[in-house]
Structure 1
C-alpha cells in the first residue's frame, strides 16, 4: 500500500488535474486556427481559479512539488494549453500571458517573423516577404530587438523583423475582432515592440480585439540616407518594414481571429511620426492597410524631414562610414563594404553618430524625402489634400519639449541661440518675431511667463506642441472622417511638467498609477477607456463600460470653440502638490494660434 505521505501527494495531483480539466480548460481553453472552446466567464474571472491555474500552468511551486510521473501529465496539459495558429509560413506554437494584474489571461504569439531576415545582401535593402513553409514555429518567446541604443546583452540582432500578437483566450479563426497595431517610438534609433505593454491595453479593454506590436529596423540599419543610398533605392527602409508588417497583417490576421477591414494603427513619438507617413502614403486602387489612426505626441511635421542630399544627412552618412571603417574605399564599393562589416561594428557606429547629435531635432538616421513613401515635405503633403482619410485621434502634452531642451534658457540670448542652432535657416527677423511671441519677463512685465524662473526654457518646451497640431487642423479641414484632439496636462514632475510620453502608462491602465490616488485611477481609467473605444470603433465615446460617466469627446473642427479634450488640467499630485485639478473636460486651444501660425509657416525651413 502507499504511504500516507504518498497518498496525500496522489490526492493532491488528482485534485489539481480534476480542477484543471473541469474548470481551467473551460475558462482558458486550448485553441487553434481550427479548434477552440468557449471561455467560461465566471470560471476565468474567479480569483481562486486564476491562482490555481497560474500555479499549475506557470511551472510554479505546485507543479515543482509533483512526482516525476505527474510532470509528464502537467507537461501534456501545458502543451494542450498552448494556442496554435496555422499560417502560410508555418504553424505557430504560442503561449499564455497571465500577468498578476490582468483580469483575464491572454493568448500570445511572440517573435513571429513578418519578413525575411535583413542580413547579408539584404542589409540596408527593402524587406522581403516570408516564404511558405510547413514547419513548426516556436512563438512562446520574444524575438531579438533590432540593433539600437545599446549593444549590451544578447537580446539584439539583425534578424529582428518580428511581431508579437495577443488575443483574448478562446478566440477563434473567423471571429472578425478589431485589430490594433502598435508602432513603438524612440527617435527612430531606440526601442522595440515588446517595450510597450500592448497586452495590458487589451487585457483591460471592455471590447475584445487583436493586439499586435512589432520591430522595425532602426538607426543606420533602417534610416541611413545620403546621395549614395538614394541612388541605390535604399532610403527609409525602416518605414518599408512597417509597410511590410501592415501587408502581413492583411494576409494573416484572420487566422488569429482578427478582421483585416478593422485595423487601427497606434503609436507614440517616432511611432506616431511613422503613422503620419503611412497616412500620407497613398496608393490608387490598393486595398487599405488600415482604417483608423491614433497618434500620440508625434506627427510628420514634428521633426525635420530633409531631402537625402541635404547637408546634414550627407555629413552624418560620412561620419557613419568613417566610424564603420569604410570611409577610405571607393564610393561605388562603400555599400558593399558596410554590408561586410560585423553587425556589432555597424551597430556601434550607428549608436555613436546618433549620440553625437542627441538630444536635438537634428538627430541622425531619420526619415527623408524619397519621392515614394515620403513624396514631398510633410507640410506640403498636408496642403495637397491627398492622404488616407481615416478617423484620427491625436494629441500632445503640455511640455512636450522638456526632454529635448537645455535645463535652463534664462536669457533672450540663450533662447535665441538655442533655436538658431536647432534651425539654422531661421532668419534674424524670424528670431525677432519669436522673441515677440514669447516675451522675455526680464524686460516685459506683461509677459504671461513673468512668474516662471525658468521662463526661457518653457518657451522652447512649449514650442514643440505647435508641430504636432497640424495633423488635427489639416485633417479636420480636408476629410469627412472624424478627428479627435487631446491635450494631456497632468504634471508628473516639478521641472518636467506634463512631459513627452507621460501619458503612456495611463493608457495601459497601469496598476502602479491607479494606486496613487482616486484621481490618478480616474485619469488612467478615462484615458484607457477613450483610447480602447476609439481603436475598436473609431469613436472614443462608443464603449461606455466602467467609465460611462466620462465627458463626451466631441470631434475637433476649425470652427469649434471647444474642440480639444483636456485631460488632467491642474493636477500636480505626482509632482509633490495637492491639487487634483480636473480629470477631463472639453477645452479650447485658440490661445496659441499665433504661435502655431509662426511655426507652421516656417516648417519648410527645417525640411529643406
Structure 2
C-alpha cells in the first residue's frame, strides 16, 4: 500500500511530465501550451517574427527577439489591421505576427506527424478566417496530424508598393510573412511532433491565391518549405507592377500629410497607427470608375512574383507537388452588390475589379452571362445580381481553378478538383446559394470556425462533414485524398488520366460523386482563361 508521501511524489512527477510535454523551447522563447480534455494540446499566440512596427513597418519580417522565461500560450495573438475600418477594430494591431499550433497530446519530437499549415483569406485586406481551431481536423485524422494557423499583414501594412517602398523597405510583405511561417515550421515543428519533411499548405480565397503565388514564387524555385497544397476558391485578382502601384503610395502620402517631407517613407513609418489607419482606404484603380472590392494586393516585383499567375503557370514556372483546387457553385454572390439591376451597373462593377478589361471583352462577357434570359428574381435583389455574380465568380474563382488543375495535370503531377454544391435552405432562398468558402465549415467542422455557419451544418448537412474531413486529412497524411477517405464515399479521381479529363468531385450531402465539367462552363472558361493575362491576372 502506497504511503501519502509516495502518492504525492507520483502526482508531482506526473504534473512535471505533463508540464514538460506542453512547454516547448523555441530557442528565442519558451511557450507553455494548454492540454485540453479531448486529447489535443494547443499553443496560441506564438510569436513567429518581430513586431513589424516602427522602423520595421513596411519591412520584410525579421526574427523574433529573445525573451527569457516561459510564456503562456493560452490566448490568440492580435489580428492584423484591416483596410477600410476606422477606428482600429478591437483585437487588431500592427503587432500581429502570431501563430497557433494544435497537436495530439502524445506527440513527441520523434512522432513526425504530417503538418497542415492553413493560410486564411480576406482579400489581402483583412485576416478574415483567423483563429480556426484545429481540433476537428486532428480528431478526423485519428490524432495523426499537426495543424498550424497564423496571421499575416494585410492592406498597406502588408502590401504597400512603390519605388520608395522597394528602396527603403520591402514589398509583398504579407507573402513574406507566410514564407516566414513556413521557415519557422521547418525549424520548429518537430518540437510539437510534426514532420518538417511532410508539410501540406492549405488556404481559402486570398489564402488560396497565396498558394498559387507560393507555388510560383521565384519562378517556381522549390525551397523545400512544403510538399503538397490544397486551395479552396483560388482567387485571381488584378495584379499591378511596382510602377503601376506607385499611385497608391503617392495617394497615401498625400492623404497623410507626408508629401512635403523629403523622406516620405520615413514620414509614413513615423505616423502613429491610428493616423495611418484613418487613411487606410480603398480608392479606384487606374482606369476604373469605383474602388475594387480589395484595394491592396500582391505586386509583380520581378523577384518573389515574376509575372502574372496565368503566365507563370502556362510556362511551367511552378513547384511540382500534388495539389487540390476547387470551388463552390455560387462563388460571386457574396461579393456583387445585390442592387445591380442593369447591364451598365454590372459592367461598371466588373471593370472596377479588372480595369484593364477592354470593351470587346466586356461585350463578350455580357453575351455569355448578362442577356435578358439570364436575369433572376431574389428577395431584395436587382435582376442582374445573380447573372453578374455568375460572371464574376467564374472570372475570378472557378475558371482559374480549372486552369490550375490543368497546369498540374499537364506537368504530370497528381491534381484533384472539386465542385462543392452542398445546399443550405436559407442560403438557397436568399439567392446566395452555395456561397464563397462555405466549405470551410465542412472541412474544419462548424463548431471550430469563426463566424456563423449555416444552421443546416448542424442538422441536415451534418453528414457531409466527416466526408470532407476524411478527404482533407487523407490528403494531408498521404498527399492523396483517397487512402483514408470516409467509408463508402466515392474515389476522388484525378483531374486528368486514363484518357478522361475535366473530371472533378461533385460534393453534396447524400449525392457526392464524380462529374465532368459541363461543356457550357468549359466554353465560358476557355474564353475567360484566354483573356486572363490581358486582365492582369
Q: Do they superpose with TM above 0.5?
A: yes
Aligned partner of 1:184 in structure 2 is 120
Higher helix share: 1
Aligned partner of 2:307 in structure 1 is 376
Q: 1:517 to 1:132 in 2, by over 3 A?
A: closer
Aligned partner of 2:469 in structure 1 is 528
Aligned partner of 2:46 in structure 1 is 112
Aligned partner of 1:475 in structure 2 is 408
1:123 aligns to 2:57 (yes or no): yes
Structure with higher Rg: it is 1
Give unpaired runs (5+ residues) of structure 1: 1-13, 37-79, 99-103, 443-448, 569-579
How far did residue 145 of structure 1 move? 1.7
Q: Any residues of structure 2 matched to 1:385-464 within 5 Å, and which?
A: 385-438=316-369, 440-442=371-373, 449=374, 456-463=384-391, 464=393
Please say if residues 96 and 105 of structure 1, whose CA atoms lie closer than 8 Å, have aligned partners that are also in contact: yes
Q: 1:320 to 1:112 in 2, by over 3 A?
A: same
1:238 aligns to 2:174 (yes or no): yes
Aligned partner of 1:307 in structure 2 is 241
Which of residues 238, 257, 274 in structure 1 aligns to 2:193? 257
Please say if residues 140 and 473 of structure 2, whose CA atoms lie closer than 8 Å, have aligned partners that are also in contact: no
Q: How big is each residue's C-alpha offset from its partner over 1:373-393, in whole Å with a ceiling of 9 and x where there is no partner? A: 111111110111021111101
The runs of 4+ residues in structure 1 deviating greater than 4 Å are 131-134, 149-154, 282-287, 354-362, 450-455, 511-519
Q: 1:586 to 1:228 in 2, by over 3 A?
A: same
Q: How big is each residue's C-alpha offset from its partner over 1:138-159, in whole Å with a ceiling of 9 and x where there is no partner? A: 2222222222255556532222
Aligned partner of 2:493 in structure 1 is 554
Which of residues 543, 552, 577 in structure 1 aligns to 2:484? 543
Please say if residues 215 and 319 of structure 2, whose CA atoms lie closer than 8 Å, have aligned partners that are also in contact: yes
How far did residue 602 of structure 1 move? 1.4
Aligned partner of 2:91 in structure 1 is 155
Distance across 2 between alignment mates of 1:284 and 1:380:
12
Please say if residues 471 and 481 of structure 2, whose CA atoms lie closer than 8 Å, have aligned partners that are also in contact: yes
Which of residues 253, 270, 275 in structure 2 aligns to 1:321? 253
How far did residue 244 of structure 1 move? 1.0
How far did residue 501 of structure 1 move? 1.5
How far did residue 133 of structure 1 move? 6.0
Distance across 1 between alignment mates of 2:114 and 2:60:
29
How far did residue 481 of structure 1 move? 2.5
The 3-state SS of whatever aligns with 2:512 is strand
1:594 aligns to 2:523 (yes or no): yes
Distance across 2 between alignment mates of 1:521 and 1:184:
23
Which of residues 324, 343, 349 in structure 1 aligns to 2:273? 343
Please say if residues 193 and 215 of structure 1, whose CA atoms lie closer than 8 Å, have aligned partners that are also in contact: no
Distance across 2 between alignment mates of 1:193 and 1:297:
14
1:490 aligns to 2:422 (yes or no): yes
Q: 1:587 to 1:284 in 2, by over 3 A?
A: closer
How far did residue 180 of structure 1 move? 0.7
Q: 1:121 to 1:418 in 2, by over 3 A?
A: closer
1:139 aligns to 2:80 (yes or no): no
Please say if residues 566 and 587 of structure 1, whose CA atoms lie closer than 8 Å, have aligned partners that are also in contact: yes
Please say if residues 446 and 457 of structure 2, whose CA atoms lie closer than 8 Å, have aligned partners that are also in contact: no
The 3-state SS of whatever aligns with 1:319 is helix
Please say if residues 356 and 536 of structure 2, whose CA atoms lie closer than 8 Å, have aligned partners that are also in contact: no
Aligned partner of 1:93 in structure 2 is 32
Please say if residues 218 and 305 of structure 2, whose CA atoms lie closer than 8 Å, have aligned partners that are also in contact: no
The 3-state SS of whatever aligns with 2:297 is coil
Please say if residues 519 and 583 of structure 1, whose CA atoms lie closer than 8 Å, have aligned partners that are also in contact: no
Q: 1:360 to 1:185 in 2, by over 3 A?
A: farther
Q: How big is each residue's C-alpha offset from its partner over 1:486-541, in whole Å with a ceiling of 9 and x where there is no partner? A: 11112331210111111111112225779757641221121111111111211111
Q: How big is each residue's C-alpha offset from its partner over 1:118-146, in whole Å with a ceiling of 9 and x where there is no partner? A: 12111101111235565423222222222
Distance across 2 between alignment mates of 1:110 and 1:450:
48
The 3-state SS of whatever aligns with 1:148 is coil
Distance across 2 between alignment mates of 1:543 and 1:551:
12
How far did residue 267 of structure 1 move? 0.7
The 3-state SS of whatever aligns with 1:216 is coil
Which of residues 521, 530, 534 in structure 2 aligns to 1:605? 534
Distance across 2 between alignment mates of 1:190 and 1:595:
31
The 3-state SS of whatever aligns with 2:405 is helix
TM-score by length of 1: 0.77
Q: 1:515 to 1:437 in 2, by over 3 A?
A: closer
Please say if residues 220 and 365 of structure 1, whose CA atoms lie closer than 8 Å, have aligned partners that are also in contact: yes
Aligned partner of 2:450 in structure 1 is none
Distance across 1 between alignment mates of 2:172 and 2:250:
18
Q: Any residues of structure 2 matched to 1:279-290 within 5 Å, and which?
A: 279-282=215-218, 287-290=223-226
Q: How big is each residue's C-alpha offset from its partner over 1:43-82, in whole Å with a ceiling of 9 and x where there is no partner? A: xxxxxxxxxxxxxxxxxxxxxxxxxxxxxxxxxxxxx487
Q: 1:285 to 1:364 in 2, by over 3 A?
A: closer
Q: Any residues of structure 2 matched to 1:352-363 within 5 Å, and which?
A: 352-353=281-282, 361=292, 363=294
**415-424 vs 184-193, which moves further:** 415-424
Distance across 2 between alignment mates of 1:134 and 1:81:
17
TM-score by length of 2: 0.86
Aligned residues: 509
Distance across 2 between alignment mates of 1:168 and 1:381:
39
Distance across 2 between alignment mates of 1:589 and 1:168:
39
Give unpaired runs (5+ residues) of structure 2: 448-452
Please say if residues 562 and 586 of structure 1, whose CA atoms lie closer than 8 Å, have aligned partners that are also in contact: no
Please say if residues 102 and 146 of structure 2, whose CA atoms lie closer than 8 Å, have aligned partners that are also in contact: yes
How far did residue 212 of structure 1 move? 0.6
Aligned partner of 1:10 in structure 2 is none
The 3-state SS of whatever aligns with 1:594 is helix
- Looking at both structures, which has the greater relative contact order when contacts are Cα pairs under 8 Å and sequence separation is at least 6? 2
